[in-house]
Amino acid sequence: MPPFLETILSEVFEKFNTDTVLNHFSYYSLGKYVFTTDLYRKGPCVRSLCIMCFPTRTSQEYDDFQTLRESLQAIFPQASRREISKYKRQIADVEESVPVLIITLNQAWIDQHGLPAYNAAMDAFATTKLSAPQRRDNNTRCIFRFQGIHDLITVRDNIRDRGLAPNAFHIGPSFHALVPHAQLEPIGTAWFLEKVGPRRYSFGPDYHFFLL
């Protein structure tokens, strides 16, 4: 928080208490900061109180991030233009800071367990903790939308702990020699994609997502 706002807050809170009544609020922008001011009424007087401050991005700062199409092409380098367009339509209306889980398959896992087992595991990610016939993947079996990061992790842990996706999770390389009959290959790679601004996205893989 900028020092000048800390000064404002300290002066205001010294004079007012929290039982004042909120009447109105408005937003202002100062440089790279946005903060809100709330008008409080106490007796015959109306005062202005700054209550929140957080950094904002300039249009130039968004240039460091990718468009949705660029992000999907990086995650699915072998996908056709038609497939990328299909995936893009599913994600385009996702709001900022809402996590999207994308799972790209591991061919070594498919060779070991087969495509039907893979599809069943993806169906578990699409339907766990939802009422039938709801799905969170729009039948893609690779892109999954969640309400928040807590929802995402809860679903992942539920699938892992209840064995709803057999052999999807694996042990780390350091344990391969110690547990010879354990699952050594993950079912795929988990990617997190998040909208960070107007038509800009941040994404990256989580290589520990399927780790036991």
Distance CA 46, CA 82 (A): 59
Please say whether the beta carbons of 129 and 150 come within 8 A. Answer: no
Strand ranges (DSSP E) for the chain?
21-30, 33-42, 45-55, 100-105, 143-145, 188-197, 200-206
Other beta carbons within 10 Å of 114: 11
**Chain segment 22-73, per-residue pLDDT in tens:** 333 333 334 444 444 444 334 444 444 444 444 455 556 666 788 999 999 9
pTM: 0.69
Distance CA 166, CA 108 (A): 15
The residues spanned by each domain of the chain are 3-55, 61-206
d(CA 190, CA 143): 10
Q: Are 201 and 191 in contact (CB under 8 A)?
A: no
Residue 185: what residue type? E
pLDDT tens for the chain, 212 residues: list them.
455 555 555 555 555 444 443 333 333 334 444 444 444 334 444 444 444 444 455 556 666 788 999 999 999 999 999 999 999 999 988 888 788 999 999 999 999 999 999 999 999 999 999 998 999 999 999 999 998 889 999 999 999 999 999 999 998 888 888 887 888 899 999 999 999 888 889 999 999 999 88
**What is the rounded CA–CA span in Å between residue 57 and residue 191?**
24
The pLDDT value recorded for residue 63 is 66
- For residue 11, give both structure tokens: 């002066």
